[in-house]
Structure 1
Amino acid sequence: LASNNISPSQQPSRLNGATFIAIPTASADAIASFIWGSYLKTTGAHGAPVS
């Protein structure tokens, strides 16, 4: 990402609304899990696909 060197302390407006880029990596997994869970609910699936 060209924006990966933007520090969270910089003004969010520079991200053009994409403030999620500034979210600490520690929260990334939680967000991914939330999105994945929402996807499963939307598709009616009950678990992750078996690889």
Structure 2
Amino acid sequence: MDKGQNTGGLMSSAGLVRYFDAEDQRAIRIDPKTVIAVGILLGVLVQVLTFVS
């Protein structure tokens, strides 16, 4: 590649990194362990309901 050519790879992703690093104070925050627990409980519930019917 010539030195004059700009592919824009790193520069084009820099804006996305800044966007996703910014935290909104109004955003809903859920602990990852809570998400895992709800998923497991939902899976168990589906299995129980499948077994019963």
TM-score, normalised by the number of residues in structure 1: 0.42
Per chain length, whose mean CA-contact separation is higher, i.e. which structure has more relative contact order (CA < 8 Å, sep 6+)? 1
Please state which structure has a larger fraction of its residues in helix: 2
TM-score, normalised by the number of residues in structure 2: 0.41
Higher gyration radius (CA): 2
